[in-house]
Amino acid sequence: MDCTKCDGSGFIFDEEARKSYPCECRPARLARKRAAAVAGRIPKMYRGVSFEREPLPSLERSHRNVVREVRRYCDSVSEHLDAGRGMWFTGPPGTGKTTLAMLISKHAMQADRTVAIYSLPRLLAILRETFRDDATHSLSQLIDVLCSVDLLHIDDVGAEQTSPWVLEQLYTVVNTRYEEQRAIIVTTNLIDVSGASGEPDRELRDQIGERTVSRLYEMCGDPLPMFGTDRRLETQFNLPEPVSASTTPDPFDDSQWDERPSGYGRPR
Ligand SMILES: Nc1ncnc2c1ncn2[C@@H]1O[C@H](COP(=O)(O)OP(=O)(O)OP(=O)(O)O)[C@@H](O)[C@H]1O
Ligand SMILES: [Mg+2]
């Protein structure tokens, strides 16, 4: 967006004083730049996610209340982020948790907010890597970024066991965000909301620690339950029938599978 006061650089040059001053458009310009820097982080599969496209209309029918909450959040995403309110989704694999979480992250990015998206296994690996000699970031630089973005989206929480040191770093990040009132979005398979277990979040607490889980409750409220069958399996088994031997896709040729249109983007 062009600014009428500066030349678009974010600075105004005062000829007389021969000095540059930051223009009033500079904070918004920086925010947009930061948002653009993380925009590439929505994984390709979820990039087209939107309320108007599948699987959202289907999810809206099967999980009306959850999708209503997500819609409310997205409608006033800046307000929620400013208040440090997050959300978390729990349920078995393939029920749409990551889809909904990505939808929120996308709305935050579109509102020019800074967002960092990691799967927890990947985040823990990056934390561990900071100790390597050829590491690109120091631990403190990484933690600074994780603590300062407007929204931290952690996917697949509880997907792997890890060391106490790494869990301590995760706690530091969650606790700093808690104290600074910055929002977190989480997805996990590890809270059993079916009511079958006396202590639904025991597995999660064992995996990532009591203190971290207790803060997540305060920051994200009650986990939103996503029940149902694994839609990912349905998608896989729903491949088109081969028409004739000559057009049967070669299962060993990856490029043919890349051509498959993703589930998103299909109009309602
Ligand atoms: N209600 C639905 N209708 C149709 N497709 C759906 C529905 N829910 C999810 N899907 C599709 O299932 C796949 C998996 O969705 P998603 O990645 O959001 O699941 P998830 O709950 O995060 O799973 P996991 O716990 O394994 O990470 C995606 O291709 C998504 O489009
Ligand atoms: Mg997921």
Output the domain CATH number for residue 49: 3.40.50.300
pLDDT in tens, 116-136: 999 998 888 888 888 888 877
238 occurs within a structural domain = no
pLDDT in tens, 149-200: 999 999 998 877 778 888 898 899 999 999 999 999 999 998 887 777 788 8
- Give the residue whose CA is nearest to atom 9 of ligand 1: 96
42 occurs within a structural domain = yes
What atom of ligand 1 comes closest to residue 62's alpha carbon?
1
- Give the residue whose CA is nearest to atom 29 of ligand 1: 232
Q: CB within 6 Å of ligand 1 — which residues? A: 55, 58-59, 62, 93-99, 156, 187, 189, 226, 231-232, 235, 263
Average pLDDT taken over every residue of the chain? 83
Tokens (6 digits) for 40: 């590439």
- Give the residue whose CA is nearest to atom 26 of ligand 1: 93
215 occurs within a structural domain = yes
Q: How many domains does the chain have?
A: 1
Is residue 29 scored above 90 in pLDDT? no
CA 163 to ligand 2 centroid distance, Å? 23
Residue 154 structural domain? 28-225
64 occurs within a structural domain = yes
CA 155 to ligand 2 centroid distance, Å? 6
- Tell me, what's the pLDDT at 242? 52
Q: Which ligand is nearest to the CA of 95?
A: 1
73 occurs within a structural domain = yes
43 occurs within a structural domain = yes
Q: With cut-offs at 50, 70 and 90, classify the pLDDT of residue 240.
A: low
Phi, psi of 187 (to 5 degrees): -125, 145
- Give the residue whose CA is nearest to atom 13 of ligand 1: 232
- Tell me, what's the pLDDT at 142? 86
| Rounded mean pLDDT, 7-27 | 87
SS (H, E, C) the chain: CCCCCCCCCCEEEECCCCEEEECCCHHHHHHHHHHHHHHCCCCHHHCCCCCCECCHHHHHHHCHHHHHHHHHHHHCHHHHHHCCCCEEEECCCCCCHHHHHHHHHHHHHHCCCCEEEEEHHHHHHHHHHCCCCCCCCCHHHHHHHHHHCCEEEEEEECCCCCCHHHHHHHHHHHHHHHHHCCEEEEEECCCCCCCCCCCCCHHHHHHHCHHHHHHHHHHHCCCEECCCCCHHHHHHHCCCCCCCHHHCCCCCCHHHHHCCCCCCCCEC
136 occurs within a structural domain = yes
> 111-115, 169-173, 240-244: which has the minimum mean pLDDT?
240-244
- Bridge partners of residue 11, in order along the sequence: 22
- Tell me, what's the pLDDT at 192? 82
The larger pLDDT score, comparing residue 155 to residue 252, is at 155
What atom of ligand 1 comes closest to residue 92's alpha carbon?
25
> Residues of the chain with pLDDT > 90: what percent?
42
The larger pLDDT score, comparing residue 28 to residue 85, is at 85
239 occurs within a structural domain = no
Contact between residue 178 and residue 141 where contact means Cβ atoms under 8 Å apart: no
- Tell me, what's the pLDDT at 259? 39
Residue to substitute in 62, 87, 95 for testing ligand 1 pocket (most ligand atoms within 8 angstroms of CB): 95
The larger pLDDT score, comparing residue 50 to residue 268, is at 50
- Give the residue whose CA is nearest to atom 23 of ligand 1: 94
